[in-house]
A and B are shown apart, each in its own frame.
Chain A
C-alpha cells in the first residue's frame, strides 16, 4: 500500500511532452523556383497565407499572358503580312488561271513560317504534363498522409492508390496515343493545306475526334473512379472513429470522456494540417499550369483569328491550314487541362471529408 502511494505521488514528475512531426518539404521540393515564389511556403505552425498566394497567382497569370502575347507578336504580324501579300497576289494569278499554284505557294510559305516555332510549343506542353506528374508523385503522398492522420486512413489510402493509377494511366495514354495523334493532326493540316483530299480530311477528323473522346473519357472515368473509391472507405472511417470514441468513453469510467475529447482535438488539428497542405497543393498545381496555358491559349487565339482573316484570300487552303493548327492547339490545352482537372479533384477529395 505504501509502495502504491509512493508511485502515485511520484507519478506527476514523469510526464513528458508528446508531439508528432510532419514533414512538408516534399510539397516544395518538386516545384520549380518561379512556382515556389508564387505558392509561398507553409509556416512552422502549418499556417498558410492563401489570400496572398491567390493574389500572386493572379498577378503571375496576367504577366504570363502578356509575355506570351509579346512573344507571339512577331508570329502574328508575320502571318498577317503573308495573308496580305496573298490577298494581293492570288486574285491576279486567278485571272491568269494560276490561282491553284499561287495558293499552294502561299500555303507552303505559311506552313514553313508557322512550323518554325511549333516544336517549342509542343515541348512546353509535354514539359507541363511531366511537371504535373512529378508534382503529383512528390506532393500527393504528403496530402493524403495528412488526410489519413485526420481520421480518414482507409479512404485516403484507397484514394491515393486510385490517383496514382489514374495519373500513370493518363501519362501512358498521353505519351503513346494522344501526343502522337496531335502531331499527326498538325501534319495532316499541313498536307490538307497543300492538297485537298477527302481521305486526308477523314483521317484528320478521325484523329481529332478520337483525341477529344479519349481525353473526355479518361478524365471523366478517373474522376468518377477516384470519387467512388473513397466513399466506402470514408463510411468505414467514420464508423471506426465513432466506435473508438464510444469504447474509450465507456471503458474508462472517469478519464474516458477526457481522452475521447482529447482525441477529437488531435483529429481537428490534423484536419487543419490536411486542409492547409491541400490548399497549398491546389495553388501549386495552378501555378505549374499557368505558363503553358498562357502560351497555348495565345497560340490558339492567334490561329483562330488568322483563319478568319484568311477568308479574304480566294480559295480555302490557307484557311484549312490555320484552322487545323488552331484545332491542334486546342487539343493540347485540353490534354494539359485533363491532367490538371484530375489532380484538382484528387486534392479536393483529400481535403473534403464527411463530418464526424
Chain B
C-alpha cells in the first residue's frame, strides 16, 4: 500500500523536474524519466513473487499445468515492457520508434502464443 503513495509522489516530483529540465536540457529530462521508470518497475517486482506463488498454487492444488499459464504471464510481461518503451519513445517525440517497439512487442507476444495454438490444432485433429 505504501508503495503506491511513494511511487505516485516520486512520479509527480520527477515529472515536475523533467518539465523544468525539458526547456534547457531535454536529454537529461528523458534520462531522468527512464531512470524513474526503471526504479519504480524494480520496486514493483517485489510483488511479482506473490503472482508467482499464485501460479505455483494453481499448479499444485488445482492441477493447472504451468505451460497453460506461462504464455499469459509472458504476454503480460511483454505488454508491460512494450508499453513503457513506446511511451518513453513518444515522450522523446520519436513516434516512429514507438510504433516499431509496438510492432516488436506484438510479434513477440504472437511467438509466445504459437506453441499453444499448435498444441490446440493437434488436439483438434484428435477430436475430429
Contacts and interface: CB of A to CB of B under 8 A. Distances in A.
A106 B113 CA distance: 9
Could you tell me the dominant secondary structure of chain A's interface residues?
Answer: helix
B44 to A, nearest CB: 12
B62 A187 contact: no
A101 B109 contact: yes
Interface in B63-111: 63-65, 68-69, 71-76, 78-80, 82-83, 102, 105-106, 109-110
A86 B127 contact: no
A104 B63 CA distance: 21
Interface residues of A, number: 38
A108 interface: yes
24 contacts: A74-B63, A77-B61, A78-B64, A85-B54, A85-B73, A88-B51, A92-B76, A92-B80, A96-B105, A98-B75, A98-B79, A102-B75, A102-B76, A102-B109, A105-B75, A108-B113, A109-B68, A109-B71, A111-B123, A112-B119, A115-B123, A115-B127, A190-B123, A190-B124
B123 A101 contact: no
B55 interface: yes
Interface in A76-111: 77-78, 80-82, 85-86, 88-89, 92-93, 95-98, 101-102, 104-106, 108-111
Contacts of A105: 71-72, 74-75, 109, 112-113, 116
B16 interface: no
A352 B31 CA distance: 91
Given A85-B58, A92-B79, A98-B106, A113 B117 contact: no
A112 B73 contact: no
A183 interface: yes
Given A78-B63, A98-B106, A108-B113, 6 more contacts: A78-B64, A95-B79, A101-B106, A105-B116, A108-B71, A111-B123
A118 interface: yes
Nearest to B124: A187
Contacts, number: 116
A194 interface: yes
A303 to B, nearest CB: 15
A241 interface: no
Nearest to A105: B71
A98 B80 CA distance: 10
B34 interface: no
A112 B78 CA distance: 22
B109 A194 contact: no
Interface residues of B, number: 39
A151 B49 CA distance: 79
Contacts of B74: 105
B39 interface: no
B43 interface: no
B62 A77 contact: yes
A184 interface: yes
Interface in A107-150: 108-113, 115, 118-119
Contacts of B116: 105, 108-109, 112
A96 B71 CA distance: 16
A191 interface: yes
B83 to A, nearest CB: 4
Given A89-B76, A109-B71, A98 B105 contact: yes
Contact of A93 (B68, B79, B110): B79
A186 interface: yes
